[in-house]
């Protein structure tokens, strides 16, 4: 995949992305997706190899598709955006993270808009969902800026959550 926005490139993940992903894991950026990342240097290479394989299959109904977000001008890796399959809802969702030093610039929303538009206009996906804890104001704002709308608010326990927390459920539908 190669998508371009005003400021960003959203591209397929490569083996060379291991180092920046490990750096972002060390700043806590991947904790909500992967849980404790203190040992991520041991498994990040395998994660990237699996992500490359899943990207070649290009099937968003699978476990996940992970793409790299780069600043267009500097070609600096700033985060990731992708899809994941919510087995408990049988729906395709979105995932994203931005490295700590690149937050607050609107990169996640910009990359999410590009990813969602790509899949919705391809005809292969007609709806995306997302969840965000209500206390994660930044993530809620990101999803809303990307065009997602709250459809429900209730207790939910996501994959790496220790307990149920009050969460917003979001959707964006092909128009």
Would the pLDDT of 123 be above 90? no
Determine the pLDDT at residue 18.
92
For the segment 48-62, what is each residue's pLDDT rounded down to a tens digit? Answer: 999 999 999 888 887
132 contacts 96 by C-beta, under 8 angstroms: no
Q: What's the token pair of residue 88?
A: 């408990």
Q: How much is the pLDDT for 51?
A: 92
What is the distance between the alpha carbons of residues 40 and 50, in angstroms, rounded to a whole number? 15
What pLDDT score was predicted for residue 81? 96
56: helix, strand or coil: helix
For 52, the token pair is 């490359």
30 pLDDT higher than 80? no
Confidence category of residue 116, pLDDT binned at 50, 70, 90 = very high
Q: Note if the pTM is more than 0.85.
A: yes
Which comes out higher in pLDDT, residue 28 or 153? 153
Q: What are the phi and psi torsion angles at 72 (to 5°)? A: -65, -45
Sign, CA dihedral 100-104-107-112, equals positive
Find the range with the poorest average confidence among 11-20, 22-31, 46-55, 146-155: 22-31
Strand (E) or helix (H) holding 84? strand 77-86
């Amino acid at each position: 995949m190669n998508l371009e926005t005003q400021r960003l490139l959203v591209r397929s993940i490569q083996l060379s992305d291991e180092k920046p992903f490990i750096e972002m894991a060390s700043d806590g950026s991947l904790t909500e997706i992967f849980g404790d990342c203190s040992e991520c240097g041991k498994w990040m290479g395998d994660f990237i190899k699996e992500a490359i394989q899943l990207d070649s299959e290009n099937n968003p109904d699978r476990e996940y598709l992970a793409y790299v977000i780069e600043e267009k001008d500097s070609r600096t890796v700033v985060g990731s955006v992708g899809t994941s399959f919510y087995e408990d809802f049988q729906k395709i969702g979105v995932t994203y993270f931005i490295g700590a030093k690149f937050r607050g610039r609107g990169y996640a929303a910009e990359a999410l808009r590009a990813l969602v538009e790509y899949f919705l206009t391809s005809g292969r996906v007609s709806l995306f969902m997302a969840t965000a804890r209500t206390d994660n104001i930044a993530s809620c704002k990101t999803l809303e800026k990307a065009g997602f709308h709250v459809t429900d608010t209730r207790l939910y326990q996501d994959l790496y959550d220790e307990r149920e927390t009050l969460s917003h459920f979001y959707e964006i539908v092909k128009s």
